[in-house]
Amino acid sequence: MPPRQFLYQRKYELLLLALIQHLFIGIFLYDLVFYQKVIWPINMVILGIASVGVFIDKGNWKNVLRNILFVSVVALPIILAFFGNIPHLFFALNAIYVLFFTFIFWEVIKFLLKPSYINVDIISASACGYFLLIEIATFLMQLFFYDNPNSFKGISTSSPAETYMDLVYFCSITITSIGFGDITPNMYYTKLITSLFGIAGQFYSVVLVGILISKFVSNSDK
């Protein structure tokens, strides 16, 4: 099977696996310097390749924009690994990551709304949407944190990798409405954005259940 066809047929399963490993690979790593300099750029290459299938046959401008964002999200971690944590560069990195994941999230949502059936792609795309929300929230919160370290309490600043993992944890428990309280927003804007993502997580879950039920009923009727 040609690579392009494989990426298209398995696009949502591949994207789901790429998102999970990007968010949670830290579970298996203890050398955070190695993670920041080697694993992080590799993760972004994997994510970029996994996102290719989502944009096949979507129009030239979308593929061009995806390619620009993909090159940016791969290049910026490599630049940071060689030149250290340059404040303005780190700000740009987080902003581009938010755009990259929002772009993919929008395409996933459009796919979920179209077909009137349930299959593996629908289930995988549904899960992708949830993890993409966590990705968007994580990099948006990280953008605010590096702009103002007092915007959150309880986040480790010993390394960029630990900061990122703390924010993955915080955004995951916020969007799932668990909320342990060990990390808390400390500025009015981070409090409001945290609330917004908590609502978005619940809204996504409720709407997704409705979509899946309607597709199941439609499929059963046919």
> What is the structure's pLDDT at 40?
86
Between CA 114 and CA 205 the distance in angstroms is 18
Q: Indicate the DSSP class of residue 56.
A: T
Backbone φ/ψ region at 155: left (φ over 0), alpha (ψ -120 to 50), beta:
beta
CB of 175 closer than 8 Å to CB of 134: yes
One-letter identity of residue 218: S
> What is the structure's pLDDT at 124?
92
Between CA 38 and CA 139 the distance in angstroms is 19
Domain boundaries defined on the chain: 3-221
Q: What is the pTM of this model?
A: 0.90
Between CA 97 and CA 55 the distance in angstroms is 17
> What is the structure's pLDDT at 219?
61
Written as tens digits, the pLDDT of the chain (222 aa) is 677 788 888 899 999 999 999 999 989 888 888 888 888 888 888 988 888 888 887 778 888 888 888 888 888 777 776 766 666 777 888 899 999 999 999 999 999 888 777 788 888 999 999 999 999 999 999 999 988 999 999 999 988 889 999 999 999 999 998 888 899 999 999 999 999 999 999 999 998 888 888 777 766 655
> What is the structure's pLDDT at 1?
66
Helix (H) or strand (E) holding 80: helix 60-83
CB of 151 closer than 8 Å to CB of 145: yes
Between CA 62 and CA 65 the distance in angstroms is 5
